[in-house]
Structure 1
Amino acid sequence: MTHGWRDDDMTQESPKKADRTVVAPGYEPVAEAFFATIADGRASGASLAIWKDGLPVVQLAAGTADRPAGTAFALDTLIPIASVTKGLASLVIARLIERGDLPSYDTPVGEVWPQFAAYGKGDVSIGDLLAHRAGLSAPREALTEEVFLDSLATADVLAAQEPLWKAGASHQYHAFTHGALTSKLVSLAGSRSLGTVFAEEIAGPLGAEAWVGLPAEFDGRVAPLVADPRPAPASAPDEADPWPQRAMDLGAGIDVVGLVFSERGRRAELPGVNGIASAPAIAKIWSAAVTPTDGTRLISAETADALRAPRSIGRPQFAGPPPYQAWGAGVMIPSHWEWYLTEYSFGHDGANGQVSFADPHHKIGFAYLTNQIGDWERGQSVVAALSRVLG
Structure 2
Amino acid sequence: MSVAVEGTVSAGFEPVAAAFREAFDGEPDMGAALAIVRRGRPVVDLWGGVADVRTGRRWERDTLSVIFSCSKGLMSILAARLVQAGKLDYDALVTTYWPEFGEAGKGGTRVADLLSHRAGLPAPREPIPRGALADWDRIVAQLARQEPLWPPGTAYAYHPITHGWLIGEVVRRVTGLSAGEAFRRYVAEPAGAECWIGLPPAHLPRVARMAVGPSLAALTALQEAEARAAGGTDWPGIAMTLDGALPRELVGPRDHARDEVGSDVGAVADGEGFNDPAVQVAEVPGAGGIASARALATIWSSTFSAARSGHGPLLSEETIRQATAVRSEGEPFFPTPPPWPRWGAGFQLDSAARRYVTPTGFGHDGAGGQVAFADPAAGIGFAFLTNRMEAGDDRRATRIVDALRRIVTGTVVDTVPGIPHDEGAKSI
- TM-score exceeds 0.5: yes
Do the aligned partners of residues 23 and 227 (structure 1) sit closer, same or farther apart at CA in structure 2, a change above 3 Å counting?
same
Cα distance in structure 2, aligned partners of 1:325 and 1:225: 25
Judge which range, 310-319 or 296-305, deviates more: 296-305
| Partner residue in 2 for 1:160 | 145
Do the aligned partners of residues 165 and 356 (structure 1) sit closer, same or farther apart at CA in structure 2, a change above 3 Å counting?
same
Q: What is the CA distance between 1:99 and its match in structure 2?
A: 0.6
Q: What is the CA distance between 1:167 and its match in structure 2?
A: 0.9
Q: What is the CA distance between 1:254 and its match in structure 2?
A: 4.9
Judge which range, 254-263 or 58-67, deviates more: 254-263
Query: Which letter maps to 2:372?
Result: S
| Partner residue in 2 for 1:224 | 209
Query: Which letter maps to 1:30?
Result: V
Cα distance in structure 2, aligned partners of 1:151 and 1:252: 16
The correspondence for 1:236, drawn from 226, 235, 239, is 226
Q: Per the alignment, in what secondary structure is the counterpart of residue 357 of structure 1?
A: strand
Q: What is the CA distance between 1:202 and its match in structure 2?
A: 1.7
Q: Per the alignment, in what secondary structure is the counterpart of residue 159 of structure 2?
A: coil
Deviations 1:93-112 (A, max 9, x none): 1111111222x211121222
Asked if residue 58 in structure 1 is aligned to residue 44 in structure 2, the reply is yes
Cα distance in structure 2, aligned partners of 1:192 and 1:253: 25
Q: Aligned ranges for residues 296-375 of structure 1 at < 5 Å? A: 296=311, 297-375=313-391
Judge which range, 356-365 or 293-302, deviates more: 293-302
Quick one: percent identity of the two aligned structures? Answer: 41
TM-score, normalised with respect to structure 2: 0.83
Q: What is the CA distance between 1:253 and its match in structure 2?
A: 7.0
Q: What is the CA distance between 1:3 and its match in structure 2?
A: 8.9
Do the aligned residues in 2 keep the contact of 1:228 with 1:372 (CA within 8 Å)?
Answer: yes
Q: Per the alignment, in what secondary structure is the counterpart of residue 298 of structure 2?
A: helix
Asked if residue 81 in structure 1 is aligned to residue 97 in structure 2, the reply is no
Query: Which letter maps to 2:343?
Result: W
Do the aligned residues in 2 keep the contact of 1:150 with 1:269 (CA within 8 Å)?
Answer: no
Judge which range, 379-388 or 334-343, deviates more: 334-343
Cα distance in structure 1, aligned partners of 2:26 and 2:203: 26
Q: What is the CA distance between 1:41 and its match in structure 2?
A: 5.5
Do the aligned partners of residues 215 and 40 (structure 1) sit closer, same or farther apart at CA in structure 2, a change above 3 Å counting?
farther
Cα distance in structure 2, aligned partners of 1:40 and 1:332: 30
Cα distance in structure 2, aligned partners of 1:328 and 1:75: 33
* Structure 1 unaligned regions, length at least 5: 6-19
Q: Aligned ranges for residues 136-215 of structure 1 at < 5 Å? A: 136-215=121-200
The correspondence for 2:96, drawn from 83, 86, 111, is 111
Cα distance in structure 1, aligned partners of 2:284 and 2:233: 26
The correspondence for 2:295, drawn from 281, 295, 309, is 281
Judge which range, 143-152 or 176-185, deviates more: 143-152
Q: What is the CA distance between 1:66 and its match in structure 2?
A: 2.1
The correspondence for 2:82, drawn from 93, 96, 102, is 96
Cα distance in structure 2, aligned partners of 1:362 and 1:254: 38
| Partner residue in 2 for 1:380 | 398
Cα distance in structure 1, aligned partners of 2:237 and 2:119: 18
Q: What is the CA distance between 1:309 and its match in structure 2?
A: 1.1
Q: Per the alignment, in what secondary structure is the counterpart of residue 284 of structure 2?
A: coil
Deviations 1:142-184 (A, max 9, x none): 2233443223431221111111011110001111111111210
Deviations 1:292-326 (A, max 9, x none): 12122211111111111111111110112222222
Cα distance in structure 2, aligned partners of 1:46 and 1:119: 44
Cα distance in structure 2, aligned partners of 1:150 and 1:172: 25
Give the superposed CA RMSD.
Answer: 1.9
Do the aligned residues in 2 keep the contact of 1:55 with 1:293 (CA within 8 Å)?
Answer: no
The correspondence for 1:125, drawn from 78, 91, 110, is 110
Cα distance in structure 2, aligned partners of 1:242 and 1:49: 37
TM-score, normalised with respect to structure 1: 0.91
Do the aligned residues in 2 keep the contact of 1:152 with 1:180 (CA within 8 Å)?
Answer: no
Do the aligned partners of residues 286 and 152 (structure 1) sit closer, same or farther apart at CA in structure 2, a change above 3 Å counting?
farther
Query: Which letter maps to 1:299?
Result: L
Cα distance in structure 1, aligned partners of 2:66 and 2:214: 18
| Partner residue in 1 for 2:286 | 272
Deviations 1:326-368 (A, max 9, x none): 2111111112211111221110001021011001111210001
Do the aligned residues in 1 keep the contact of 2:356 with 2:401 (CA within 8 Å)?
Answer: yes
Judge which range, 188-197 or 230-239, deviates more: 230-239
Do the aligned residues in 2 keep the contact of 1:47 with 1:74 (CA within 8 Å)?
Answer: no
Cα distance in structure 1, aligned partners of 2:136 and 2:379: 33
Q: Per the alignment, in what secondary structure is the counterpart of residue 226 of structure 2?
A: coil
| Partner residue in 2 for 1:38 | 24
Q: What is the CA distance between 1:79 and its match in structure 2?
A: 0.7
